[in-house]
A and B are shown apart, each in its own frame.
Chain A
Amino acid sequence: MENRILKDENDRVDGFLKVTGGAKYFAEYELPGLTYGVLVTSTITKGKITSLDTKAAEKAPGVIAVLSHLNKPSAPAYEQEGGSQMKIFYTDKIFYNGQPIAIVVANTFERATYAASLVKTSYAKEDFNTNLDKAIKDPKAKKLQGQPDYKRGVENAYKTAEIKIEQQYILPIETHNPMELHGIIADWRPANKVTVYAKTQGVKATQGTIANVFKIPIENIQVNSEFVGGGFGMGLKTWPLEIATVMASKHVGKPVKLVITRMQMFTMVGNRPTAIQKVGLGATKDGKLTGITHTAFGESATYENFTEGVVNMAKFMYQCDNVNTSYTIVPVDLGVPIWMRGPGEATGAFALESAIDEMAHELDMDPLDFRIKNDPEMDQQKNKPFSSKNIKEAYKLGAAKIGWSERKNKPGSLVEGPWQTGYGVSVGVFNANRGKASVKGTLKADGTLLLQSATSDIGPGTGTGMGLIASKLLNIPTNKITFELGDSSLPPAPSQGGSATLSTIGSAVNDVCLALKSTIAELAANSNMDATSNFVDVLKKNKLPSVEITKESQSGKERDNYSMYSFSIHFVQVKVHKLTGVVKVSKIVSVGDSGKIVSPKTARSQMVGGAVGGIGMALTEEAILDHRYGRYINNNFADYHVPVNADVPEIDVIFIDKPDFLVNPMGAKGMGEIALIGFSAAVANAVFNATGKRIRTLPITPDKILA
């Protein structure tokens, strides 16, 4: 990508391209002979297709092909038994409403859209259920263990504690819905060579999935995904709609582009599923936690299982000798969920951190003091020390910034006219992951550095961060460094997810840069130059146009000896209108304890974006189903409410910025997830502080305040 620094070395390297329209997203590639796919989707929730009449569609102007289970376009892996049941076009079964059942390929998008409306389908309907609560209560409904039960000390110890609380917390379906619609361009050429332009968080993952389904060599597949218009997790999977497009290109012998509709974004590319959780907490009268029980039920699909880390946090976040958790997944007749920013932990944190606030209130303690009193010295779950944890410092900094001293412990104390003011706090935590990745570095005699890796950038600023790591190590200005990504032919890297990219790829950049440095030093020594000579002079003296090194990098043993987490503390001030029930978030301070900050501008943006997502989760976002039909009611951006600018106050971001070299050589921990995790509880806690009303079902809309 073009590397154009606007003002200073911390600028986003692709910022100029993004704000000038120069960044090219998958749907913008114009291939010769490009054709257009449009999906036909099921209008029932469960059952079988009994007939699919495609005649009218096939005869419609511009139509090249209509593919479905009737003509089974070639996909060798789908001809075999086993694997996921959602083998697109290889099954007549309907698993959920809105499931893709056919693809119409035409020479224009409009013609494909029209022809898709002409496909007539008949079904044999079966009884279905899309309601998690109903499934939980139905003894005959299938339930699966989502994670092994966990127990330390006495089970359900909270029940016999001096002070106890036990409450249920409910989260609705939340959708990723990035601005950019999902889809893919697939170009299947003779001799089984495939090029795709994808919207993916992992070009290698997409490449691997296509290779598996079509049983062709991995090197035959080129996946390009240089720019991604937001992912939030939905690009962590190669969806049936993408396979359908590759099938279609193979079938028609032309490149096919598929871009799904906003409505289809609610059904085909996963969501953060509904969860119903119970938290029981026990404490002594002086505020020491004596029991934590966290039980969660999460939605999954009937054709594929989905799990996430809903109950992880309860096991180590607080000092407590008696903890037990269980997490059950319940298949319902909906599309399979996929991890969404802060996956699982964000769901769990709403419950746990609300409950912590409820307990502090029972104890008549400041919730911050209660957290500090129960802050663990070590990870009791893993029985290991934390590699680093500066949470007490983070509490202090954030509290000072938001003006926590203004807060009154008695709810409803701060009133100005019809507006009630409240303050809330919550903690977020996520694994400080580090995976394995390779990076190729090429130092050139023209004074530039090229770094290459098959990683992604769904928005956090991958190239910017990597450039800054290399710049400091090699003393090259960032405008002389180019980082190439989003190309499956580059050295392998894992998908961008789980807040691990900076840690994983950054470590490989670090290793490559150090190796380049010593190579230059060797060359300098061999040519009788000063060891500190500039690499340009050294290369020129050696008549080398460039040197290149590829390094694979991963953690060492230190990872076994320590518990590694990133932490965040969110402080929120809200104003709640007594008469209308409107909640306004009026101040936000998010503190990140995520090691050394490598890229200050993009790191801040991550925290700001997390807070905005958190406002949505807390106050506005809910994908609403009519369970009688299994169909979404508000599947558009007018009715599914992501926060708008007017919902978002100024956001203060503070970083502890202390390196943790046990995690990686930069001392930096990931922060994409912690930016969001816990935020919704901070809002709910602030609402309680403002009004005395405890809202345990998200989102906190005016009707719930007035109830």
Chain B
Amino acid sequence: MINFQYLRTTSAKSALALLQKDKNSKFIAGGTNLIDLMKRGVTAPEKLIDINHVPLKQIELIGTKIHIGALATNSAVADHALIKEKLPLLSWALQAGASAQLRNVATVGGNMMQRTRCGYFYDTEMPCNKREAGSGCGALEGFNRMHAIFGTSDKCIAVHPSDMCVALVALDAEVVLLGPKGERKILFKDFHRLAGDTPQLDNNLKPDEMIVRVEIPLNNLAKHSYYLKVRDRASYAFALVSVAAGLELEDNKILSAHLAMGGVAHKPWRLTKAEEFLKGKEATEENFAQAAKLSMENAKGFGENNFKLKLAPNTIIEALNLAKRKA
């Protein structure tokens, strides 16, 4: 491993100051992805700033929003009574990710910041525009079974691997970022980016900013939500396709639908058209199927991932079926 300097800090302010002082430094929290990237030679920060002792682990209801600190661990959030009661969808999405051991150290902020799991990104001997701009995309005509079908570019077809982020997008979360000029708040759906011509950029976090918390508005979805993750084994596998579904039902009428998909794009993929279609409709499998169909407009396969063109709508239908039944 290439030598690096290790620093530890206890406040967000000092963490930010350290980050701004040195361009080639990185925050480390759980480190469940960053250490892998360093071992594989994908990244080699000169300084690691350990932020585990910065007090950003809160999980609390403030007014009509639930605030979750960037350093709350995935397991702490998933197991928290408030989350289980008010935002079960988020709890299930977290539990569908990684393994118990990883969830115990992985944090909310780290989960957002994790890089794609595309094999070409991790192998420095193979081309990857995300790792090395201009080197080409290995997946485009190679192994792309796990890859994106929405919002792709000819530079990159990688997917964002998070489950948590899919639920957060569906739940209209916001993310609070701290920079030199103080805090700014953006919609969670705008945090991650599409690859476009700059696949090396996963998100809109500025180099001198840090994630401090996410805020999730209370909703009426708890009774009818479901996180359905389709994967190659029952646990500890990234999604082929996942769907976060939340329905607000009155009798069998859909007052509002919240839908996002994972494993299909460079960012968590909100299904806005399907949501709009379902609003005011009866919660029937026919309507779910129509919503799923609408969701697939502009989807594109790259060979090995063509099956997702069928799996994705099927998963939307089944997630909606299960969310409806949940109660």
Contacts and interface: CB of A to CB of B under 8 A. Distances in A.
Interface residues of B, number: 32
B232 interface: yes
Interface bin, chain A? 20 to 34
B117 A639 contact: yes
Given A580-B311, A584-B234, A114 B2 contact: yes
A643 B233 CA distance: 7
A707 B307 contact: yes
A624 B2 contact: no
A237 interface: no
A628 B125 contact: no
A114 B1 contact: yes
A647 B318 CA distance: 21
Contact of A117 (B41, B123, B126, B321): B41
A195 interface: no
Interface string B191-235: 000000000000000000000000000000000000010101111
A638 interface: yes
A67 B2 CA distance: 21
Contacts, number: 85
Nearest to B310: A706
Does more than half of chain B's interface fall in helix, strand or loop, or is it mixed?
Answer: loop
Interface stretch (B50-58, B76-84, B138-146): B138-146
Contacts of A645: 235
B249 to A, nearest CB: 20
B240 A114 contact: no
B126 A629 contact: yes
Nearest to B304: A703
Contacts of B315: 579-580
B126 A634 contact: no
A639 B120 CA distance: 13
B15 interface: no
Interface string B235-265: 1111010000000000000000000000000
Given A626-B138, A626-B143, A631-B125, A706 B233 contact: no
A577 B310 CA distance: 14
Contact of A641 (B123, B230, B233, B317): B233
A701 interface: yes
A620 B232 contact: yes
Contacts of B307: 702-703, 706-707
Given A114-B2, A706-B314, A633 B125 contact: no
B125 A418 contact: no
B232 A701 contact: yes
Interface string B42-82: 00000000000000000000000000000000000000000
Contact of A638 (B117, B145, B311, B317): B117
B3 interface: yes
Contact of B230 (A418, A582, A628, A647): A582
B233 A647 contact: yes
Interface in A634-648: 634, 638-639, 641, 643-647
B119 interface: yes
B18 to A, nearest CB: 24
Nearest to A584: B234
Does more than half of chain A's interface fall in helix, strand or loop, or is it mixed?
Answer: loop
Contacts of A631: 123, 125-126
Interface in A551-587: 577, 579-582, 584
Contacts of B145: 703
B312 to A, nearest CB: 10
Interface string A607-628: 0000000000001100010101
A582 B307 CA distance: 13
A390 interface: no
Nearest to A263: B40
B233 A633 contact: no
Contact of A113 (B1, B138, B143, B310): B1
Contacts of A579: 314-315, 317-318
A110 interface: yes
Given A646-B235, A703-B311, A706-B311, A626 B142 contact: yes
A448 interface: no
Interface string A634-675: 100011010111110000000000000000000000000000
Contacts of B228: 580
Given A639-B117, A707-B307, A117 B314 contact: no
Nearest to B305: A703
A647 B231 CA distance: 12
B234 A647 contact: yes
A117 B125 contact: no
Given A580-B314, A626-B126, A626-B142, A702 B2 contact: no
Nearest to B119: A633
Given A580-B230, A641-B237, A706-B310, A628 B117 contact: no
A584 B235 CA distance: 12
Interface string A413-431: 0000010000000000000
A471 interface: no
A43 interface: yes
A3 B3 CA distance: 45
B230 A702 contact: yes
Interface string A575-604: 001011110100000000000000000000
The listed residue with most A CB atoms (<10 A of its CB), out of B1, B126, B232, B238, is B232
Interface in A691-707: 701-703, 706-707
27 contacts: A43-B125, A114-B3, A117-B2, A117-B41, A418-B318, A579-B314, A579-B317, A580-B228, A580-B318, A582-B230, A620-B232, A626-B138, A629-B125, A629-B126, A629-B138, A631-B126, A634-B119, A638-B237, A641-B232, A641-B233, A644-B236, A645-B235, A646-B234, A701-B232, A702-B307, A703-B145, A707-B307
> What 10 A-B pairs come out closest when comparing CB atoms?
A646-B234, A703-B307, A633-B119, A579-B314, A646-B235, A580-B230, A641-B233, A579-B318, A43-B125, A633-B143
Interface of A: 43, 110, 113-114, 117, 418, 577, 579-582, 584, 619-620, 624, 626, 628-629, 631, 633-634, 638-639, 641, 643-647, 701-703, 706-707
Given A580-B318, A633-B142, 12 more contacts: A43-B125, A114-B3, A581-B311, A629-B138, A631-B123, A631-B125, A639-B238, A646-B235, A702-B232, A703-B145, A703-B311, A707-B307
